Amino acid sequence: MSNTQGSFKVIAKNKRANFDFLLLEKFEAGLVLTGTEIKSIRDHQVSLQRSFVQARKGELWLVDMHIAPYVHGTHENHDPVRPRKLLLHRREINKIMDQLAQKSLTVVPTRLYLKDGRAKIEIALARGKQKQDKRQDIAKRDDERRMERALREKFR
């Protein structure tokens, strides 16, 4: 399985997002980054674990995404977990903020990728899953694996 899809190069995925949340609607956003941050991203030195999106003064900010300091950086290297502004169209920001205000939803980052040399992040409006929903997902995944194994054994 390749991590490139056309002009996309996936850098990091948030695997817990699919498990912990029901993803309702996805958006592509740009990021405001410094020079050493984009260099670390290109070196795959990124973690989306525990990161989330927060609304502040009519803007969306990505909080707690860890970008490791650039190895060849100087003493002016970036702060690894500083909040980073997301770049979206105003109507998308308004739509997301309306959904956050009306319903019990949250916004989680699902993956970070390079698109035509620019860092993009896929964010999703999400609703938290209950424990029983997670159990159902695990059972469904186990059933699918058993069926695949059975088919492989049958056609050997």
Of 64, 57, 56, give the one whose Cα is nearest residue 81: 64
CATH number (domain holding residue 123): 2.40.280.10
Split at pLDDT 50, 70, 90, the class of 6 is low
Would residue 146 count as lying in a domain?
no
Half-sphere exposure of 92 (CA within 13 A, CB side): 15
In a domain, 47, yes or no: yes
Residue 145: helix, strand or coil by DSSP? Answer: helix
Give the predicted TM-score (pTM) of the model: 0.76
Nearest to 44 by CA among 14, 70, 12: 12
Per the prediction, the chain carries an average pLDDT of: 86
Cβ pair 53, 108 in contact under 8 A: yes
Tens of pLDDT along 131-141? Answer: 777 788 788 88
Q: Could you tell me if residue 65 is inside a domain?
A: yes
Q: Does 150 map to a domain?
A: no
**Domain-embedded: residue 106:** yes
**Please, are residues 70 and 11 in contact by the beta-carbon 8 Å criterion?**
no
Q: Is 88 contained in some domain? A: yes
Residue 145 is assigned to a structural domain of this protein? no
User: Residues 61, 86: contact at Cβ < 8 Å?
Assistant: yes
Q: Bigger pLDDT: 4 or 26? A: 26
Within a domain: residue 23?
A: yes
- The answer, yes or no, to whether residue 112 has pLDDT greater than 90, is yes
pLDDT for residue 26: 93
pLDDT at 1: 43
Tally of domains within the chain: 1
For residue 122, the model assigns a pLDDT of 94
Nearest to 88 by CA among 49, 52, 58, 46: 58
Give which of 129, 106, 150 is closest to 21, Cα–Cα.
129
75 DSSP 8-state letter: T
Domain that holds residue 15: 4-129
What does the pLDDT look like over 13-69, one tens digit per residue?
A: 998 888 888 889 999 999 998 888 888 888 898 999 889 898 889 899 999 999 888
